[in-house]
Chain A
Amino acid sequence: MATVRFTQNIQRHVACPTRDVEGSTVRAVLDNYFRDNERARGYVLEETGAVRRHMVVFVDGDLIHDRDTLADAVKPDSVIDVIQALSGG
């Protein structure tokens, strides 16, 4: 299972603990994560499902390429980081 980690910055709004989650794409992993934490979904993704303009998502240290449909591949031992972008501050 992939490990999903969230920025400390988001925690004062909505608790997002690190969790191991199933999925072979960023979309699948995040959908599985947010299934148990629906409120967090709106903090990371637009209502269209795209990554919010001022959020960034890394898979194993690399920025994802597909911010709209989140189709980037995830390996079983991947680490996904969800972080605020400097641009939104």
Chain B
Amino acid sequence: MSDRCYVATRKGLFTVDRGATKWSISRAAFVGDNVTLAMCDPRNGYLYAALNHGHYGIKVHRSTDNAETWPEIATPTYPPLPEGYTLKPNPFSGKPLEWALKLIWSLVPGGADEPGVLWCGTMPGGLFKSENNGETWELNRALWDHPRREEWGPNGAEYPGIHSICIHPRDSKHITVGVSTGGVWITKDGGKSWDLTGKGMRAEYTPPEAAYEPIAQDVHCLVQCETNPDVFWVQHHNGIFRSTDAAGTWSEITDVKPSVFGFAVAVHPKAPDTAWFVPSMKDEKRCPIDGRVVVNRTRDGGKTFETLRRGLPQEHAYDLVYRHGLDVDETGDRLVFGSTTGSLWISEDAGDSWQTVSSNLPPIYAVRFAKS
């Protein structure tokens, strides 16, 4: 059970600890700086923070002393353009496709049998691997050079990107990534080759003939169950999808109140039929329905949902929760989520009730429990 979580915000990284009576902020790091992501590596306890300085670009910092100090480490960088290579035009904007780091959008530890391995997803779509705890990074060329990668499109941001990386808990070479916008991609050989998957996903924002094109799917967040890794959940731009065959095929979950729109999803590590979502008004509004913050939970694989609201604001709340803004601990009992308006809530009863940790933080991009 986790007694600590990390909160990455527009103006710093905050450590939140469970005290005798309540959760509270115990430490602030990078105050004033834009921390876009945090990651805890359960294999060695190392912590990672991705920063996006307005002037100075993207940086990665690592703490090996429980968030006391944060020296800078290597930032993933794209290799030089090959001689004579001409960047294709972005099919949406007509501008040349990008070949330089724009954002670190996902950062995960490799498998338990691969100490030191980290994976990092970025905008404009490069997947990077480190084999030495982030001292150096290498672009995964098989995915970057895949001819269909250039069909990836933008999302709410200007560039496509990899925001979700799921390492199979029993096979570190079996990796599934979510792309916005570009569907779900799988490697079973550690990244030497990649296949596009996503049969059954449906897009509402394309001409109807292309609605079921796997590459057109705007996956907002992809998660995999720890103890039953054949089960995946996706919060998609226009719906909720579930796979029970290791992301091969997907079933759409419809008729979910108050909404199927959102960014974040978390799956119970031991109960694949249990997942949590933070619904919002679709897609051009992006705020809670009727000003009420709620969490949706299913415990039966999406057949039914409970809308949980005890302890959450139920009037004039306009909090949006981004894709990395929700997390569940290794027991499945504790959840944390944070919003664009700087509210942070924690539950110790699987979402039945919530306590407010703060309503005054900077805009929250990511929350992560410390895991061991």
Contacts and interface: CB of A to CB of B under 8 A. Distances in A.
A61 interface: no
B100 A48 contact: yes
Interface stretch (B54-62, B191-199, B281-289): B54-62
B99 A52 contact: no
A52 B56 contact: yes
A46 interface: yes
B55 A54 contact: yes
B57 A89 contact: no
Interface residues of A, number: 17
A10 B56 contact: yes
A77 B17 CA distance: 56
Which of A10, A39, A48, A55 has most B Cβ within 10 Å?
Answer: A48
B205 interface: no
A16 to B, nearest CB: 11
Contact of A52 (B55, B59, B77): B55
A75 to B, nearest CB: 27
Contacts of B77: 42, 47
A89 B81 CA distance: 30
A39 B74 CA distance: 9
B57 A84 contact: no
A21 B37 CA distance: 37
A42 B57 contact: yes
A57 to B, nearest CB: 13
A54 B100 CA distance: 15
A85 interface: yes
Q: How large is the interface on B (under 10, 10 to 19, 20 to 34, 35 or more residues)?
A: 10 to 19
Nearest to A7: B55
Nearest to B74: A42
A47 B100 CA distance: 7
Given A39-B72, A47-B77, A47-B78, A13 B100 contact: no
Contacts of B56: 10, 13, 42-44, 52, 55, 84
B72 A54 contact: no
Interface in A24-52: 39, 42-44, 46-48, 52
B57 A85 contact: no
Contacts of A52: 55-57
A58 B80 CA distance: 26
15 contacts: A10-B56, A13-B53, A39-B72, A42-B59, A43-B53, A43-B56, A44-B56, A46-B100, A47-B101, A48-B80, A48-B99, A52-B56, A88-B54, A88-B55, A89-B54
Given A55-B55, A55-B56, 17 more contacts: A13-B53, A42-B56, A42-B59, A42-B75, A42-B77, A43-B53, A43-B56, A44-B56, A46-B57, A47-B78, A48-B100, A52-B55, A52-B57, A54-B54, A84-B56, A88-B55, A89-B54
